[in-house]
């Protein structure tokens, strides 16, 4: 009989301190919190190409592809998966169960009783997760969306134009906030980045109190951990994980975003910013709507920004991601081939 482990699911938007929180939680022996390969985000759109997952061949292919994605993660999990063992751990033939089984194997390797998934985009797949019989403890970590947008602007991943960034951030915060409001209070916690970075021990203790996991002082030694060192070495966007907590990493947007950028963001996401307790700055420069022509220009600039981010990226960063990116590209080509012939 397989061991039943408990789970933690991060929700919200990336670039909000989630990797910092992940490596801190990973310091606790009871919690396994590996770097996320974004299993659901990658495979949910591709599921139609597998056909009926009740078919042994189709399910085996999905299991193999998920395992390969994880084995190619830029931050190595240090595991080669036994596909048959992963399949046997699944309580149902569906993607969330495959993801759960993979995370469980990593937790068992550590001897942990909890596994933690940091894939914050999973906020879009909560219904599928819960329907699969997985009922995590949810951590909604949120940060001023304008600082999130600024951080994405500098990263190799993500949207690049304020309009796209504001829409994404607002949607994901609204979904996360609504989920936490709907759940029993024992099943979630909401963490404000600006408070977390001022007193990280208080935040971790609050999580421990809600989950029943014992707090340990080595949490604060996260920046000297192997997990932090390996993650930081795997990409410039994670370099801060080997540094102490930056307590002044807030309101950077006031110095680094233009007035126009701030106005666009607040025009789209101002209501959400205020709901989460953030002050608006654009004043009369905010807009109630944008024309179709303006939005088309925003989309074009966003696409161009993504292309430029890849061109400017550190070659070492791209090399670390190359194998997984190539595999995802091959999956998408397979999907296009299957759907074209359907």
Give me the CATH number covering residue 93. 3.40.50.300
Q: What is the mean pLDDT of residues 67-80?
A: 96
Q: Which residues contact 264 (CB under 8 A, 6 or more apart)?
A: 162, 163, 166, 287, 298
Q: 1 in a domain, yes or no?
A: no
CA–CA gap between residue 254 and residue 259 (Å, rounded): 9
Structural domain contains residue 259: yes
The answer to whether residue 256 is domain-embedded is yes
Residue 153 lies in a domain: yes
Tell the burial category of 63 from Cβ atoms under 10 Å away from its Cβ (0-12, 13-18, 19+): buried
For the beta sheet containing 6-12, the strands, ordered from the edge strand earlier in sequence to the opposite edge, are: 31-32, 114-117, 6-12, 137-142, 188-192
Predicted pLDDT of residue 317 = 82
Can you give the residue range of the structural domain that contains 205? 6-340
Residue 233 has pLDDT above 90, yes or no: no
pLDDT at 3: 55
- Segment 274-278 mean pLDDT: 98
Residue 18 lies in a domain: yes
Q: What is the pLDDT of residues 186-225, one digit of tens each?
A: 999 999 999 999 999 999 999 999 999 999 999 999 998 9
Give domain status of residue 197, yes or no: yes
Does residue 144 lie in a domain region? Answer: yes
Q: Is the pLDDT of residue 309 over 50?
A: yes
Q: Which residues pair with 192 in a beta bridge?
A: 142
The answer, yes or no, to whether residue 277 has pLDDT greater than 50, is: yes
pTM beyond 0.85: yes
Number of domains in the chain: 1
pLDDT at 2 over 60: no
Q: Quick one: average pLDDT of 289-313?
A: 95
Six-digit token pair at 43? 């495979």
**Radius of gyration, alpha carbons of the chain:** 20
Residue ranges with strand state E in 95-173: 114-117, 137-142
Does position 141 have pLDDT exceeding 70, yes or no? yes
């Amino acid at each position: 009989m397989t061991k039943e482990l408990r789970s933690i699911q991060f929700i919200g938007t990336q670039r909000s301190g989630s990797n910092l929180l992940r490596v801190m939680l990973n310091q606790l022996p009871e919690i396994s919190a590996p770097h996320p390969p974004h299993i659901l985000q990658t495979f949910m759109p591709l599921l139609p190409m597998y056909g009926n997952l009740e078919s042994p061949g189709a399910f085996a292919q999905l299991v193999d592809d998920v395992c390969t994605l994880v084995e190619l993660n830029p931050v190595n999990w240090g595991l080669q998966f036994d596909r048959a063992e992963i399949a046997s751990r699944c309580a149902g033939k569906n993607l969330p169960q495959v993801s759960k089984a993979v995370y469980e194997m990593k937790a068992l390797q550590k001897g942990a009783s909890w596994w933690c998934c940091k894939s914050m985009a999973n906020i879009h797949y909560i219904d599928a997760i819960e329907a699969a019989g997985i009922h995590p403890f949810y951590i909604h970590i949120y940060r001023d969306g304008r600082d999130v947008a600024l951080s994405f602007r500098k990263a190799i991943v993500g949207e690049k134009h304020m309009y796209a960034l504001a829409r994404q951030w607002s949607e994901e915060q609204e979904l996360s906030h609504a989920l936490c409001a709907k759940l029993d209070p024992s099943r979630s916690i909401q963490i404000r980045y600006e408070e977390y970075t001022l007193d990280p021990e208080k935040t971790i203790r609050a999580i421990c109190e809600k989950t029943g996991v014992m707090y340990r002082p080595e949490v604060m030694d996260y920046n000297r951990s192997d997990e932090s060192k390996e993650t930081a070495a795997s990409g410039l966007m994670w370099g801060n994980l080997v540094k102490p907590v930056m307590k002044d990493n807030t309101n950077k947007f006031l110095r680094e975003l233009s007035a126009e950028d701030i106005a666009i963001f607040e025009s789209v996401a101002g209501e959400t910013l205020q709901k989460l307790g953030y002050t608006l700055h654009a004043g009369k420069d905010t807009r109630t709507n944008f024309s179709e022509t303006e939005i088309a220009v925003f989309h074009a600039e966003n696409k161009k920004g993504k292309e430029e981010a890849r061109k400017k990226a550190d070659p070492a960063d791209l090399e670390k991601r190359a194998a997984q990116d190539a595999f995802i590209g091959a999956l998408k080509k397979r999907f296009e081939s299957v759907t074209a012939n359907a």
